[in-house]
Amino acid sequence: MALSQRLFDAIVDGHAQLAESLVEEELKAGADPVALISETMIPAMDEVGKLFREEEFFVPELMLAGRAMKAAMEPLRPLLAAAGAKPVGVVVAGAVKGDLHDIGKNLVISMLEGASFKVVDLGADVWPEKFVEAIREHHPQIVCLSALLTTTMTAMRTTVEAIKAAGLRRDVKILVGGAPISESYATEIGADGYGATATDAVALARRQVGLSN
């Protein structure tokens, strides 16, 4: 089996250590880092998303695949930086004020990084002011807000309002997600998009920066 197919399968199957070692083998064999990402690694994550939509994969499989993708990226990062390769976009992400749950956020971040986004992870329990500061500092195209609890989802509205009040709303697209969130709630608070799953979030982010899915 060709190395590229083995790498594809390792990511889909969630074998992080194997995926990283296969990338190292590919590089030793003279593979181009950018081609490796675009022709093998991103298609692998697309396959993971397809399997999730078809209910053949569930959250645990998504998390394992995300970790495998992140591991596979590690040997490539210094090479991409040295070559001056730019990320497809910059994302600021965090779980909103009062919400300490970050598993879903972390999964989305892993998959965004695997899709060649640069992600600034603000962590959990992030106050609106911290999102504003991060936008000013990092100049992202996208802000991702996460909430797992109905008691904290209202902080999404507060965060969107804080970004507006700071005069930064036109500079970013705001994407929201989490168990209690819906498309209608996203529209109600003035967000630009809602992702029901991590794969939906990545697809939305790719569209926001002009990439097809």
Q: With 0.85 as the threshold, say if the pTM is over it.
A: no
Q: Can you tell me whether residue 151 is helix, strand or coil?
A: coil
pLDDT score at 18 = 97
Token pair recorded at residue 134? 């991060």
- Condensed to tens digits (0 to 9), the pLDDT of residues 172-207 reads 999 999 989 999 999 999 999 999 887 789 889 999
Q: What is the rounded CA–CA span in Å between residue 68 and residue 41?
A: 10
* Domains of the chain, earliest start first: 3-82 (1.10.1240.10), 89-208 (3.40.50.280)
CB 80 within 8 A of CB 118: no
The mean-pLDDT minimum among 29-38, 126-135, 156-165 falls in 29-38
Q: How far is CA 139 from the centre of its chain?
A: 17
Q: What is the rounded CA–CA span in Å between residue 174 and residue 208?
A: 10
